Amino acid sequence: MFKEKTAMLGKGEIKYFVGGTGRPLIHLHGAGGVRPNAGLEALAENVTIYMPVLPGFDGTAEIAGIDSMETLADLVADFIDKEIGEAADVLGLSFGGWLAAWLAVRHPSKVGQLCMENPAGFRPKDAPAPSTDPETRMKQMYAYPERLPKETKSDKVIAKNLSMLGHYHGDTSFDEKLASQLGKIECLTMIMHGTRDGRVPEEAVQFLKRDIPRSHLIYVYDAAHSMETDQPARFAHLVADFMERAEAFLVNQGTTSGRPQQVL
Amino acid sequence: MKYSYTHHMPYTGIDRSGQDWPVPNKQFDAQKGVEMFNRYVEDKIYAEQTGFDWIGCNEHHMSPYGLMPNPNLVGAVVANRTKRAGILQSGNIVPIVNPIRVAEEYAMLDVMSGGRLVAGFMRGIPHEYVAYNVSPDESYDRMEEAMALIKKAWSEPEPFGWEGEFYQYRAVSIWPKPVQLPFPPMVMSATSERSTRLAAKHRAIAGILALLDMDDGRANINRFKDYSREEGWEPTNDHVMVGVNCCIAPTYDEAKKILEGGQEYFFGVLGGGIRTAQQLVVQKTRYYGSPEESAKLRNKFVNMRSGMKTRSFDERVEMGLMICGTPEMAVEQVTRLHTELGMGRLGLTIKVGNVLDEHVTRTQDYLRDIVFPATRHLGESAGPAQAAE
């Protein structure tokens, strides 16, 4: 479904994947790199998803001078210019959600609507750090690990992906510089949080909801950190509805099946 | 021991109701209904004066079994006219109603009562699902999701939305919020394995409301304790409430005659139609969960009913399944229940079937004057609940 392409940007070349039908949506990946999955495939029925591989992830080369969240956001803005040519909706998962917020702060004209999916970068200082125990980490990441697509990446690539987080944001868990600028985000924003997410505390998304002016916080029930694989249908429906109807997504549209809707 | 007053508000103006579901309401006499409501509400108010710690209201639909399809309406009256007692809603049948509405109305009750709400979350009895056209197969999953949503609605500091399996809301921010933070105390049934797990997960007070015998009650309580420990907490005596019928009179024979008659009316007249729907649900759906759990619970309720037929009333009193007799006998029976089960709360249903209202009041008075003073000390320890092994 997703085709691999290359984008020539001002600072260098990056790989990206694209697929789907409809208005463009930039998907910024998390620590695991680009991972097509059932949620993204369902979403691609309504939007055209562009998934840039951020430099250094998934075996790609780093780009000189792109070594912070700010410079990485500038690179994504350039990607939008070159490949879309106008403002695009942006969806960021975890690390990608953090990056998406930087993009919206630094390049507001490039972002149509913003969706932050279990975003990293805003962990309160008194919140416990995510577990490093493999079994606990697995539970924090996946409510339904059996729904994960088969792993295609080598251990070496996975390890390098994780190391790239430090490359871009050091050991920051709460990005004070960005937090102080959240009020500058002008676009309509949806913050999504899995009710079983053990990696991003709910205080983090509550903070974002409080400080981003035109934002909505939606809890996705029975999803952990990997919302796209835990609850692909809910994820895709919610994002597509938000992107399509904007603020009007608050209003129930009823059903189109002809069956009367039961009001509970 | 802490006491909760349970009163289903039955409609007692009929001699027979038949087996039809739903129970035809042409027999409902509005004037009698008015009189019963007024009397029943006064009984609930009087429960505070006689020393009950909690006053209970509960939800049932489409039968003379209970006239409280929305217990929150009655709870509001009780909250307004009492000062001390906890307002136990035991409870709203969460899977069949709008959970945001439950969160709102419970928050209202907590505010109206100055923080006295005891929030009961029940799955109901099977016929409720026929009444409200909700799939019984979905009841546990709806319950779990609704509970999570209600607690979010109470505690979330920012407006939020919810994308779930059964419930979708894009913007929630309830007014008022509860007085008691982070949540009012919660009561949940702990009869089936899954409901017990849920009660333990939410650190609720476990309601053991269908005692087959002492072994069965102990097993339920111990299972609740085990599951709670797995969830990382230790229940105290106060986290276990056992429900029984109660009648106190000057002699055992009189108490027996009153309560036995009330039970016969309850099962024979009030319970007819709902049993028809119940059998449909239990036989045709996964209301009780897995086939194994379902078979176990079906057997339990069959045994309870057959126990009613095969065991004499006296035998059931002897087994400790009721509080019945003189005040002194009642003290012994409560003491025995506590010794055997280790609970710190007892829910008493005095208006059983068509027990006369003056007999209800008399039992309340005996409780106030003799039974409560003699049993208050039971289960006072805030330590772990200790049932006899």
d(C-alpha B260, C-alpha B308), whole Å: 10
Q: Which of B134, B152, B157 sits opposite A219 (nearest CB)?
A: B152
B357: pLDDT strictly greater than 50: yes
Contact A258, A125 (CB under 8 A): no
How confident is the model over B296-337, as pLDDT tens digits? 766 666 666 666 667 899 999 999 999 999 999 999 999 999
Which range among B44-58, B68-82, B107-121, B302-316 shows the weakest confidence by mean pLDDT? B302-316
Residues of chain A positioned with their CB less than 8 A from the CB of B159: 209, 216-217
pTM for the model stands at: 0.93
d(C-alpha A206, C-alpha B363), whole Å: 52
**Spatial CA neighbour of A92 closest among A163, A12, A189:** A189
Question: Do residue B148 and residue A221 have CB atoms under 8 angstroms apart?
Answer: yes
Q: Which domains does chain A have, with CATH numbers?
A: 3-250 (3.40.50.1820)
Q: What is the mean pLDDT of residues B124-133?
A: 91
Residue with token string 């103006």: B13
Question: Do residue A221 and residue B152 have CB atoms under 8 angstroms apart?
Answer: no
What per-residue confidence (pLDDT) applies to A219?
98
| Minimum CA–CA partner of B95 in chain A | A264
B389: pLDDT strictly greater than 50: no
d(C-alpha A2, C-alpha A7), whole Å: 15
How many CB atoms are located within 10 Å of the residue B337 CB?
24
Q: Which of A221, A250, A263 sits opposite B170 (nearest CB)?
A: A250
Distances (CA, A) of A56 to A52, A115, A121, A154: 12, 24, 19, 14
What per-residue confidence (pLDDT) applies to B307?
63
Q: Which amino acid is at B127?
A: H
A264: pLDDT strictly greater than 60: no
Q: What is the mean pLDDT of residues B248-275?
A: 94
ipTM confidence: 0.95
How many CB atoms are located within 10 Å of the residue B145 CB?
22
How confident is the model over A114-150, as pLDDT tens digits? 999 999 999 999 998 888 899 999 999 999 999 999 9
Which DSSP helix (H) or strand (E) runs through B25?
none
Question: Do residue A217 and residue B152 have CB atoms under 8 angstroms apart?
Answer: no
Contact A113, A198 (CB under 8 A): no
Contact A54, A14 (CB under 8 A): yes
Q: What is the mean pLDDT of residues A66-77?
A: 98
- Three-state SS string across A43-65, please? HCCCCEEEEECCCCHHHCCCCCC
What per-residue confidence (pLDDT) applies to B298?
66
What per-residue confidence (pLDDT) applies to A262?
47
Q: Which of A206, A220, A221 sits opposite B157 (nearest CB)?
A: A206
Percent of chain A residues topping a pLDDT of 70? 96
Residues of chain A positioned with their CB less than 8 A from the CB of B97: 264
Question: Do residue A218 and residue B163 have CB atoms under 8 angstroms apart?
Answer: yes
B20: pLDDT strictly greater than 90: no
Question: Do residue B170 and residue A206 have CB atoms under 8 angstroms apart?
Answer: no
Q: Which of B96, B134, B145 sits opposite A221 (nearest CB)?
A: B145
d(C-alpha A121, C-alpha A127), whole Å: 12
How confident is the model over A176-202, as pLDDT tens digits? 999 999 999 999 999 999 999 999 999
CA-based nearest distance A28→chain B, Å: 22
Q: What is the mean pLDDT of residues B366-375?
A: 98
Strand ranges across the sheet with A215-220: A3-8, A13-20, A48-52, A24-28, A88-93, A111-117, A189-194, A215-220, B160-163, B168-172
Length reported for chain A: 264
β pairing state of A3-8 and A13-20: antiparallel
B290: pLDDT strictly greater than 80: no
Give which of B92, B154, B163, B169 to mutate to test A binding, by max A Cβ within 10 Å. Answer: B163
| Minimum CA–CA partner of B164 in chain A | A221
What per-residue confidence (pLDDT) applies to B310?
79
Q: Which domains does chain B have, with CATH numbers?
A: 2-375 (3.20.20.30)
Contact B324, B363 (CB under 8 A): no
Mean pLDDT for chain B overall: 92
Give which of A219, A220, A228 to mutate to test B binding, by max B Cβ within 10 Å. Answer: A219
What per-residue confidence (pLDDT) applies to A253?
86
| Minimum CA–CA partner of B98 in chain A | A264
d(C-alpha B281, C-alpha B132), whole Å: 13
How confident is the model over B155-170, as pLDDT tens digits? 999 999 999 999 999 9
Measured CB to CB, residues of chain A less than 8 Å from chain B are 192, 195, 206, 209-210, 216-222, 231, 234, 237-238, 249-251, 262-264
CA-based nearest distance B40→chain A, Å: 29
